[in-house]
Amino acid sequence: MDKTQEIMQKVRRIELTARRLTTATLSGQYRASFRGQGLEFDDFREYQPGDDPRFIDWKVTARTGSPYVRRFHEEREQVLLLAVDTSASMRYASSKSNYSKLEYAALISAVLAYSAARNGDNVGLLLYGCHPHFYLPPAKGMKQCLRIIREIISVANSGQDVGIEEVAAEILRTQRKRTMCFLISDFMMSADKQAIGKLNFRHELIPLRVADAMELELPQDAGTVCIQDPESGTPYHVNLSSPAVRKAYTRAMLAHRAEWEGIFTQLGIDMRDLRTDADFVPALRALFTRRSSHFAR
C-alpha cells in the first residue's frame, strides 16, 4: 500500500468514527455550551439611568456633550479554531492504543468540527510543530470537516515542538474576532503563562491535553532499552528494570504536567486531560454540560 492510500484509509476511518460519535445529544450540548459567546457592536444611544457605565463611549460623549453608551447584539454564529500540535512527539502510539496521539487529535478535531457544522458555525484549523505551519481559514460545511481531517493526518513529519508563544502569536494574528480556540496537544513544550494569558484574554481558550498511557508510567522489568527522543532523534539507553530510573521519570513527568495545570488553574482555563486508550466523548460531554450550566446562571 502506498502512502496516499494509507492516508486516505486513515481519513476514512476517522471520518466514519467521528460521524458516529457526533450524535444529536453531543451536538445539542455543543450548541448549548457555545451559543452567545460574543457581542457585536450595533449602535449608540443616549445613556439612561441603570445602564452599565462600562459601556459609555467617551469619544461620542465628548463630541455630543451628552453621555452615550454602545449597544450590542448577541452573535449567534461562532468561530471555532482547532489548533493542533503536529510535532514528532504527537506521532507516538504504544501497544495500549489503537491511535497515535496525532490520529487521536484528528478524531477529536473531527467530532468538534462536525458538531460545529451541525450548528452552522465556521471552523478553522492551525497545524503547528510542522514547517511551515499550516492555516486553514474558518469556513462552514461538511467539506471543511473532511479537509480538516485530511490535513491533520497527512501533515509532514518534519517539526519539533515550538514555543507556545509562537503559536499564540499566530492565533492572535489570524483571528481578528473572538474565537473559540481548542488547543490540542501533548503539551510537551515548555510552560509559558504569559503566552497562554495573552491568548486567553483575547479568545476563549480550551486546552485538550492528549497523552498515551505508556508515557505516564514506564513499564517494569523491561531491562535496558534504547529510547529515541522523537523530536531530536537522540538515542538514550535506559534500564527500565531500575526502580530509581522509573521513579525519576515519573517525578519529572508529573512535575511538568503539574506546571501546565497550575498555569491553567491560575488563569481560570478549563483544561481537559485525554488518553489515547480511553473514550474522549464523556470528557467532551462533561465540558459542554459544565459550560452550558455556567451560561444558564
Smallest Cα–Cα separation from 211: which of 246, 257, 151, 267?
257
- The reply to whether 58 and 186 lie within a common domain is no
Decide which of 46, 75, 104 is a domain's last residue.
Answer: 75
- The reply to whether 57 and 166 lie within a common domain is no
Q: What is the pLDDT of residue 75?
A: 54
- The reply to whether 270 and 174 lie within a common domain is yes
- The reply to whether 66 and 157 lie within a common domain is no
Q: What is the pLDDT of residue 230?
A: 64
**Residue 73, phi then psi, degrees to nearest 5:** -125, 155
Q: What is the pLDDT of residue 294?
A: 58
Domain residues for 63?
38-75
- The reply to whether 138 and 183 lie within a common domain is yes
- The reply to whether 133 and 208 lie within a common domain is yes
Q: What is the pLDDT of residue 159?
A: 64
Q: What is the pLDDT of residue 118?
A: 85
- The reply to whether 55 and 129 lie within a common domain is no
Q: What is the pLDDT of residues 199-250, one digit of tens each?
A: 999 999 999 999 998 888 777 777 777 776 666 667 778 787 788 888 888 8
- The reply to whether 262 and 185 lie within a common domain is yes
Residues of the chain with pLDDT under 70: 1, 24-25, 32, 34-42, 50, 72-77, 158-160, 228-233, 292-297
- The reply to whether 102 and 178 lie within a common domain is yes
Encode 107-123: b = buried (16+ Cβ within 10 Å), e = exposed. Answer: bbbbbbbbbbbbbebbb
Chain-centroid distance, C-alpha 20: 21
Q: What is the pLDDT of residue 291?
A: 75
| pTM of the shown model | 0.81
Q: What is the CATH number of the domain that holds 188?
A: 3.40.50.410
Alpha-carbon distances, residue 140 vs 19, 116, 268 (angstroms): 16, 8, 30
3-state helix, strand, coil in the chain (%, to 5): 45, 20, 30
Q: Cell numbers at residue 173, please?
A: 494574528
- The reply to whether 57 and 203 lie within a common domain is no
Smallest Cα–Cα separation from 80: which of 45, 46, 114?
114
The number of distinct structural domains making up the chain is 2
Question: Would strands 122-128 and 38-46 be described as parallel, antiparallel, or unpaired?
Answer: unpaired
Q: What is the pLDDT of residue 241?
A: 78
- The reply to whether 46 and 168 lie within a common domain is no
- The reply to whether 52 and 21 lie within a common domain is no
Q: What is the pLDDT of residue 231?
A: 64
